[in-house]
Amino acid sequence: ETKKWLVENVNLSFPQIKEAAMWIRENEVVAFPTETVYGLGANAYSYEAVAKIFQAKGRPSDNPLIVHIAKMEQLQPLVQDIPEHANKLINAFWPGPLTLVLNKGEGIAENVTAGLSTVAVRMPDHPVALAIIAEANLPIAAPSANVSGKPSPTTAAHVFDDLNGKIAGIVDGGATGVGVESTVLDCTTEIPMILRPGGVTKEQLEEVIGPVSVDPALEEDGQAPKSPGLKYKHYAPKAKLFLVEGNPLFLQQQVLAEKAKGKKVGILTTVENQVEYEADVILPCGSVKDLSSVAQHLYEVLRKFDEYDLDIIFSETFPEEGVGKAIMNRLTKAAGGDVVKCKI
Ligand code: TXA
Ligand code: MG
């Protein structure tokens, strides 16, 4: 039922792009690649079209969507004003993995923003996404194209596994690059606040506009996150995931203890460290030398664990610098906050 368009070269694939864009104009939902993860797009001006996104994903209706644009002219009508710091960030990072929360303008469907007075907007840095938005000539509301609760999709196959039969089409433009979602930054306050760590780091933002704050809920337990989406369980594989702080030897001890109880155990590690372990399934996720490679493969690896009938997964932790913040944010959510710490 769900149509697939293979797009290997944007210029040569114009008929496919045009058809996908036409379906969006007709208020159908279509998945397409962005530089971060695949998005599930619909006409941001149509309540009916946007409702189909919530329906297909099983997304709670209080969780607002990001509106995607391809040109700056599309921004003005979506927002009330563009503060100076937002302007600087747009110049520095768009197109790119930075979503700005701004005061909402007129006309956007009510369900896009889940009734909030603000709207989240970004310009994705992917030729296929940009071509579809430009061709549809509409702002496109698009959450990640996964079933709610699952890891975000970084390939068209992931989208197909989750949403085949539930959406009109999927544009297959290959694997995405960044691998984790955009940084969500609230620009409605004097000092902007990071609501979700992502592809653009706090350090990068501060280089352009000076001090940026971080939603306290991201750093401490027990606080309600300011971004509605972050309160939900997310990214979790079927087997119970634990993060392990400490060295490979300590992680291997956890594995042995579970094996002794007859459990089937998986390990999430890196290409360098995989040789240190013995377990039922060992999946390397990028290189310790390059956190962006870990981000790029994280969701694919979390999904891959579901192909084995595991009881428990132990994951290494990663330094919380640069994109490591986003990696640890997603892994912590996937683990439901469960961390095993080496006490020596
Ligand atoms: O990289 C990305 O951002 C991907 C690609 C497809 O663009 N999209 C994505 O969308 O991750 P989604 O819906 O999975 O996550 C959007 C996040 C949610 O946590 C949502 O609560 C938050 O952005 N959000 C959206 N509008 C908001 C608003 N007005 N205020 C605060 N948070 C908002
Ligand atoms: Mg999502």
Residue (of 76, 184, 30) closest to 120 by Cα position:
184
Whether the per-residue pLDDT at 153 is higher than 80: the answer is yes
Best of 227, 329, 333 to mutate for ligand 1, by most ligand atoms within 8 A of CB?
A: 227
ipTM surpassing 0.85, yes or no?
yes
Higher pLDDT pick, 192 / 107: 192
Residue with token string 């944007």: 10
Best of 38, 99, 233 to mutate for ligand 1, by most ligand atoms within 8 A of CB?
A: 99
Confidence at residue 247, expressed as pLDDT on a 0 to 100 scale: 94
pLDDT tier for residue 157 given thresholds of 50, 70 and 90: very high
| pLDDT tens per residue across span 199-233 | 999 999 999 999 999 999 998 877 889 998 888 77
Among protein residues, the one with the nearest Cα to ligand 1's atom 13 is 143
Among protein residues, the one with the nearest Cα to ligand 1's atom 33 is 227
Confidence at residue 233, expressed as pLDDT on a 0 to 100 scale: 74
**pTM above the 0.95 mark?**
yes
Q: What is the rounded average pLDDT for all residues in the chain?
A: 96
Mean predicted confidence (pLDDT) in 299-324: 97
Q: Which ligand 1 atom sits nearest the alpha carbon of residue 63?
A: 21
Report the share of the chain in percent with pLDDT over 90. 92
Mean predicted confidence (pLDDT) in 302-331: 97
Tell me the C-alpha to C-alpha distance, in Å, between residue 326 and each of 15, 233, 274, 298: 36, 16, 22, 11
Pocket of ligand 1 from Cβ distances under 6 Å: 34, 36-37, 39, 63-66, 97, 99, 101, 113, 116, 118-120, 124, 142-144, 181-182, 184, 195-196, 227-230
Best of 184, 296, 298 to mutate for ligand 1, by most ligand atoms within 8 A of CB?
A: 184
Distance of CA 183 from the midpoint of ligand 1 (Å): 9
pLDDT tier for residue 344 given thresholds of 50, 70 and 90: low
| pLDDT tens per residue across span 99-152 | 999 999 999 999 999 999 999 999 999 999 999 999 999 999 999 999 999 999
